[in-house]
A and B are shown apart, each in its own frame.
Chain A
Amino acid sequence: MSTMTLYVEKNSILHNTAPLTKVLYVMVSIAITYLIPEIAFVLSVAIITLLLLILGKVFRKIVPILGLSIILILSIIIVQGFFHPQNQTILFSIGFVTFYKEGLSYAALLTLRVMNMIMSFGILILTTKHDELVEAMIKKGLSPKIGYVLLSVLQLIPQMRTTMAKITDAQRSRGMETEGSLLVRMKAFFPLIGPVVLNSINITRERAIALEVRGFSSNQKRSFLNISKEYRYQTAIQVILWLTLAAAIVWRILTWLS
């Protein structure tokens, strides 16, 4: 049974970067594209993120997600191209549809920001084991309960699949057809979904008990079975990232003042 993990087991510089450094990268790279709304700048940030993905050997994994977001991106372009409030300079017209420079450049900016956002999350999720990430965050003060929820959500699908298989067997054994026309499958909906829902309510309650008696609500400071991996140069990288953010903020304040 596979868990719902997106992590790609490879050996790369990014795989050997501390989870929290990558979290910081996601935050900083997104924040600066908002602080400095210059197309050239945002483009270069997006390109850096793209290069990092390639460096992390996970670029191919992100392609389908980027593909999906193209629909979103197209709608941004169309809406902004037509209706941006500052539309003044006509760029070109196709039939009765007129595109303005202001609208299109704003659309380009938004598009680049979204792509950068997707790719930087991609770096984090594709090159980081999620239990390591969550544990690192708990050590930094994230509530262990929230950490548990984040981790258990990822096992929900495989668990549901097991339950679903058992339920399907039980109902087929009572003469219910599950294969065939749409009507047949629609008729099978309640007999299959009913037990899934009732089961999961039941299991959630029992699991809550099991967690409680294993000290889930204990106020004790948690310890960890897995040793935190040692990563080199992390402080340096993190300092650079913080400085980048600071520089962007300064730039922003200066542009306001001038």
Chain B
Amino acid sequence: MAIIKVENVKYKYPDTDKLVLNDMTFDVEQGEFIGLIGKNTAGKSTLCFALAGLVPHFFKGAYGGKVLVNGLEVRQHEIGEISPHVGLVFENPFSQMTGSKYTVYEEIAFGLENMGIDREIIVNRIEESLELLDITEIKDKNPFDLSGGQMQRVAIASVIALKPSILILDEPTSQLDPQGTEEVFKVIENLTKEGITIIMAEHKIDKMAGYTDRILLIHEGKLIDFDTPAKLFSREDLQDYGIIAPAVTRISQSLGIQNKENGLYPVTLKELSREMGDKR
């Protein structure tokens, strides 16, 4: 059964007349890693907010259609009821620090305490998240003494510790260096093995191609396509939506290298090398 069901969702922010989400419908299966792409102002962040229940509960505005997460209809439940199921990490790490905790360790505990989880489990979860994000070294530092990159890891760890069944990430690696980004993608991919469903908005197309199961392309509030990276990036009209295909795909297209079985262009190095190997 689908863990996320979005049915004909329409939404506009208060005091505006443009639909930021314009009749979107799609399903996500449990344990999938979904990439969310589109140009800036396409509606990616708003969609993330809608899945976490912030739209319409926090932002208000005109709302139509249905979003179901883990069987809960978002509109009918308060954010407090939705938050144990859906975790959200967004771009700016500075504003994701609570400001009421004095160490990274305590910062990660914040959500767990709110949810009334037993102390022993809290400690385990914190240790686990610190290790996953490789931030054990800074566990006693004040969150506001950290660099942007470190803070971003703490923000991710704080949400992962809550073990939500759905994790939504809106540009979570913007301040990380290349290896840091790679590590975060690996951590997230591993979470899907535990059955956690991931939705991640990112501009780093080449990374998305390698890690995601399916990619959701949106443009001006509309869902344009929702398919495997290979199919989606093989589209000829990506530029119309402000997207450029991954380097591997661009090169393959120019050279006419396609997968013989399905006619799609490779999206990862491995696929390219396999096709090239066959050719040579």
Contact = CB atoms under 8 A, between A and B. Distances in A.
A208 B54 CA distance: 11
Nearest to B123: A225
A220 B95 contact: no
A111 B118 CA distance: 49
Interface in B93-141: 94-102, 105-106, 109-119, 122-123, 126
Contacts of A162: 144
Nearest to B119: A223
Nearest to B81: A218
B79 A210 contact: no
Interface in B60-74: none
Contacts of A227: 119
A151 B100 contact: yes
A216 B101 CA distance: 14
A206 B119 contact: no
Given A214-B114, A222-B114, A1 B95 contact: no
A131 B84 contact: no
Nearest to B145: A1
B54 A212 contact: yes
A213 B88 CA distance: 6
Nearest to B105: A225
Given A151-B100, A213-B79, A217-B78, A224 B119 contact: yes
B22 interface: no
Given A215-B115, A218-B115, A225 B90 contact: no
Nearest to B49: A209
A145 B87 CA distance: 20
A222 to B, nearest CB: 5
Interface stretch (A29-37, A152-160, A178-186): A152-160
B144 A218 contact: no
B55 to A, nearest CB: 11
A29 to B, nearest CB: 29
A151 B110 CA distance: 13
B86 interface: yes
A219 B80 contact: yes
Contact of A215 (B80, B100, B144): B80
Nearest to A227: B119
A213 B116 contact: no
A225 B122 contact: yes
B99 A3 contact: no
A29 B92 CA distance: 47
B102 A220 contact: no
Contact of B58 (A148, A209, A226): A209
Contacts of B111: 214-215
Given A1-B145, A148-B100, A151-B100, A212 B83 contact: yes
Contacts of A203: 94-95
Contacts of A221: 116
B109 A225 contact: yes
Contacts of A158: 142, 144
B116 A223 contact: yes
A218 B122 CA distance: 17
Sorted from nearest, which 9 A-B pairs have the closest CB atoms?
A: A214-B111, A206-B95, A215-B114, A151-B100, A225-B109, A220-B116, A217-B80, A210-B96, A152-B99
Interface of A: 1, 3, 131, 144, 148, 151-152, 155-156, 158-159, 162, 202-203, 206-227
Given A3-B102, A156-B99, A223-B119, 7 more contacts: A1-B144, A206-B92, A207-B98, A209-B90, A210-B97, A214-B114, A220-B116
20 contacts: A1-B144, A3-B102, A131-B102, A148-B98, A158-B142, A162-B144, A206-B90, A210-B97, A212-B54, A212-B80, A212-B83, A214-B114, A214-B158, A215-B84, A220-B114, A220-B115, A223-B112, A223-B118, A224-B119, A225-B105
